[in-house]
Structure 1
């Protein structure tokens, strides 16, 4: 795992980002309603599509979870990146969405708005509350607490699905802006795999230059 100093340095760098998302989470579904609906009903496919697009369709730059976990760089990414990405979005879906978000934030120096942070924090708080309700229901065996746990769980699931769909739509809208206005972004340098044994060497990501025109057609409106 990354050292505490590395984590603090990364957080400090993020605090200095001054760019803004093209649309915030509260307006993402309005900015691209068709894509938002697709993100709700086919979230894994959308996550795969957005990660590949975030990499400028260059899968030689792919690292599992973008190098954020000890397994990154040790999952056969170099030999079969498409299969590894499929595995990531299916088994580690929340992390796949978060990794794509952090990639875009690092590439375009984007900061979350206070509203975005509030929405994301509420989503996490609902998950924790549902977990606590289930623990209380299991310990007490009380039917009322069990019903309350079911209700809290359903609310948390609804929040998760809606916020995640809006988040992926926000990513799509931001990449639309990046691809039509190359000055918005800059070549992204992926992190090295985290130290755990002897990791394979990472490719030289910082030498990548995006093509002048991106052929990203066929997205939902």
Structure 2
């Protein structure tokens, strides 16, 4: 239930019973589907309630407006993304940070292409959700720091967080460019992004005493 519980930071009232949690899931699922169909501007709490099959009062029990609802969806997206990346990293069982980087990017691209509503909301970058002191890419960088610090043999300190924040901001800009050029994601731009991130992270993460794998020819 972590995906629901972490999303509750954007809620008026957190669900305490299974039935309530299931209703919240239906509301967020409906919100995601409608974002793909009508966009954020045309999204309404009433339409979400109708699609979810719940009374409008149930929506307002959790959310004061559609912005709060989109923010909860963005937070749920981050929880689901985190879990996908964690599973990929567990399956890698080592292999260095370059393989971890591929896992991080592959899972993001997969959600970009297939997860309902993700192309408009992702983690909160596309529309104004959350507070200005809670920037979505900071959320992502903090989560990646938690996930990757141990496997890198690094402390999850401010230096590592800054490194991942720069990488996340760079990837965010270039992925959105790739999907503006091609709705499926321009393969050439995505390949260039991978090389750029490898070069930057290699400068920061590799060193005389910590080359975790040979550099590609």
TM-score tier, shorter chain, comes to under 0.3
Higher RCO structure, 1 or 2 (CA under 8 Å, sep 6+): 1
Structure 1 or 2: larger helix share?
2
Q: TM-score, normalised by structure 2?
A: 0.23
Q: TM-score, normalised by structure 1?
A: 0.23
